[in-house]
């Protein structure tokens, strides 16, 4: 069965600093990988996704993620964080012929001035 681990429950970062959120997955087949963001009181919004090809994926809001098959990782990065990036971030894994996405427990990002 697939699983997703987000090792960091909570990260605090200063505005303008860089951000990296970790995601490790366990999946027997070739995975589809996703990062979603959830602002307070909101649903989830897709930041970026990886299906195949270039392992460095660009997303919205200046985010990028790198797929590393050897490490079973799909870490999310942003070079310079804005206060509006304070939210909860979820990594998810799915696959061809799978019927659902499996989500990690989420990482809450706090941005300090």
Q: What residues line the site for other proteins (CB under 8 A)?
A: 32, 34, 36, 41-46, 49, 51, 90, 94, 96-106
Residue pair 20/75 in contact (Cβ under 8 Å)? The answer is yes
CB of 68 to other proteins, least distance (A): 20
Whole-Å CA distances, 5 to 8, 27, 51, 81, 82: 9, 12, 19, 23, 25
CB of 73 to other proteins, least distance (A): 18
Q: Compare residues 86 and 95 and give the one whose CB is closer to other proteins.
A: 95
Q: Compare residues 15 and 98 and give the one whose CB is closer to other proteins.
A: 98
CB of 14 to other proteins, least distance (A): 26
């Amino acid at each position: 069965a697939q699983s997703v681990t987000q090792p960091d429950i909570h990260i605090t970062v200063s505005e303008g600093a860089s951000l990296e959120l970790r995601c490790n997955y366990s999946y027997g087949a070739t995975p589809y990988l996703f990062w979603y963001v959830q602002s307070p009181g909101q649903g989830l919004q897709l930041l970026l996704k990886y299906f195949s090809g270039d392992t460095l994926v660009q997303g919205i809001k200046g985010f990028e993620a790198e797929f590393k098959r050897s490490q079973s990782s799909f870490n999310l990065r942003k070079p310079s964080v804005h206060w509006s990036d304070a939210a909860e971030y979820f990594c998810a894994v799915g696959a061809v012929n799978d019927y659902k996405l499996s989500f990690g427990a989420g990482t809450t990002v706090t941005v300090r001035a």
